[in-house]
Structure 1
Amino acid sequence: MADVVVVGGGPSGWALASACARGGHAVTLVAPGHGWRATYGMWADEVSVLPPGSRWVATPARGGERLLPRGYAVLDNASVLAACAHPGIEVVRNRAAAMTATSATLTTGEVRHGMVFDATGARGGGIEQTAYGVVVPAGSRAEEAVFMDWRPPNGQFLGPATFLYAVPLPDGRMLLEETSLARAPALGFGELRDRLYARVGTVIGPVERVRFPVDVPPPPRRARGAIPFGAAAGLVHPATGFSVADSFRLAPAIADTIGRGERAVRRVIWPRRARLVYRLRRRGLATLLSLTAEEHEEFFDLFFDLPARHQRAYLSGRADPAGTAAAMAALFRAAPARLRRKMAKP
Structure 2
Amino acid sequence: MADVLVADVVIAGGGPAGWALARACARSGLRVTLVAPTNTWPATYGMWLDETSVLPAGARWVPARVRGLARGYAVLDNESVLAACAHPGIEVVRARVAAMTATGARLAHGEVLRAGMVFDATGVLGAANRVEQTAFGVVVPAERAASVVAPGEAVFMDWRRPPGFGEPATFLYAVPRPDGRVLLEETCLARRPGLGFAELRDRLHARLGPLDGPVERVRFPVDVPPPPLLASGAIPFGAAAGFVHPATGFSLADTFRLAPAVASAFRGGPAAVRRVLWPAPARLVYRLRRRGLATLLSLTATEHEEFFDLFFALPERRQRAYLSGRTDLAGVTAAMAVLFARAPAHLRRKMVTP
TM range (shorter): over 0.9
Figure out how many residues of one structure are paired with residues of the other and give that number: 341
Task: Work out whether 1:16 is the aligned partner of 2:24.
Answer: no
- Partner residue of 2:230? 222
Per-residue CA deviations over 1:153-189 (Å, capped at 9, x if unaligned) read: 55x7311000000000001000000000000121111
Query: Residues 238-277 of structure 1 correspond to what in structure 2 (within 5 A)?
Result: 238-277=246-285
Q: 2:140 aligns with which of 136, 141, 155?
A: 136
Post-superposition offset of 1:152: 2.3
Post-superposition offset of 1:109: 1.9
Q: Distance in 2 between matches of 1:8 and 1:153?
A: 37
- Partner residue of 2:97? 96
Per-residue CA deviations over 1:305-341 (Å, capped at 9, x if unaligned) read: 0000110000000111111111111110010001100
- Partner residue of 2:351? 343
Q: Distance in 1 between matches of 2:143 and 2:227?
A: 45
- 2:8 maps to a residue whose letter is D
- 1:318 maps to a residue whose letter is R
- Partner residue of 2:38? 33
**Range that drifts further, 124-133 or 82-91:** 124-133
SS at match of 1:60: strand
Task: Work out whether 1:80 is the aligned partner of 2:81.
Answer: yes
Unaligned runs of 5+ in 1: none
- Partner residue of 1:151? 160
Per-residue CA deviations over 1:249-275 (Å, capped at 9, x if unaligned) read: 000011111111110001101111100
SS at match of 2:167: coil
Post-superposition offset of 1:10: 0.4
Query: TM-score, normalization: structure 1?
Result: 0.97
Q: Distance in 2 between matches of 1:96 and 1:192?
A: 32
Q: Distance in 1 between matches of 2:95 and 2:162?
A: 46
Q: Distance in 2 between matches of 1:255 and 1:45?
A: 24
Identity %: 74
- Partner residue of 1:291? 299
SS at match of 2:7: coil
Query: Residues 106-255 of structure 1 correspond to what in structure 2 (within 5 A)?
Result: 106-114=107-115, 115-123=117-125, 126-140=130-144, 141=146, 142-143=150-151, 144-153=153-162, 157-255=165-263
- Partner residue of 2:330? 322
Task: Work out whether 1:43 is the aligned partner of 2:48.
Answer: yes
Q: Distance in 2 between matches of 1:185 and 1:8?
A: 25
Unaligned runs of 5+ in 2: 1-5
**Range that drifts further, 172-181 or 101-110:** 101-110
Task: Work out whether 1:6 is the aligned partner of 2:11.
Answer: yes
Post-superposition offset of 1:110: 1.5
Q: CA RMSD in A?
A: 1.1
Per-residue CA deviations over 1:187-239 (Å, capped at 9, x if unaligned) read: 11111111111111111111101000000000011111000000000000000
- 1:152 maps to a residue whose letter is R
